[in-house]
Homo-oligomer: A and B are copies of this chain.
Amino acid sequence: MGSRLRANAKAELRFIGVVERVDEYESELRIFPAFHSGLKGVGEFSHLIILYWMHLCDNEDDRGTLLVFPRRHGVKVEKGVFACRSPSRPNPIGLCVSELVGTDGHVLRVKGLDALQGSPIVDIKPYIPRADSFPSAHVPEWTKNGPPT
């Protein structure tokens, strides 16, 4: 491919599971049978990075949105979708660091996952602080109001 990649290039995403159940405290992720063996060792980690597909935003309107008002943060100025965590974006991939509460075979119970019931799961990666944790990363003031993302 190299850096001469065509601007309209695409790829195929395959769903590995689904957010089966969501309640006030935790979410259950069911991994599809074809991918079960990929879970070996997941239970050694306390936190996982869950990539999921924000399926309700998989339409041309949301995928064509590039500027939004982050109203949940009280922002009345437009921000680019790459400068916020809006579900409307060219690829509606949600990313959430979640605490792994327990596993039951191919079902993972996690806390803190901001995904709707029925959201397909795209990938699961172990959270590794020396790669992923930057507690003093700088953020603009507006991100400090309202929910974390």
State the A residues within 8 Å of B (CB). 1-3, 5, 7-16, 18-21, 30, 32-35, 37-42, 44-49, 51, 53, 55, 58, 63, 66-67, 78-85, 89-91, 93, 95-97, 117-118, 120, 122-140, 143-144, 148-149
Q: Which residues from B are CB-within-8-Å of A45?
A: 83, 137-140
Asked if A15 and B9 sit within 8 Å, CB to CB, the answer is: yes
Contact of A95 among B21, B49, B82 (CB under 8 A): B49
Asked if B10 and A5 sit within 8 Å, CB to CB, the answer is: no
Asked if B39 and A93 sit within 8 Å, CB to CB, the answer is: no
Summarize A's interface: helix, strand, loop or mixed: mixed
Asked if A80 and B7 sit within 8 Å, CB to CB, the answer is: no
Q: A37-B67, A38-B90, A85-B128 are in contact. Are A134 and B13 (CB under 8 A)?
A: no
Q: A67-B40, A126-B85 are in contact. Are A15 and B20 (CB under 8 A)?
A: no
Q: A13-B12, A53-B11, A93-B123 are in contact. Are A83 and B44 (CB under 8 A)?
A: yes
Asked if B82 and A125 sit within 8 Å, CB to CB, the answer is: yes
Contact of A11 among B83, B120, B140 (CB under 8 A): B120
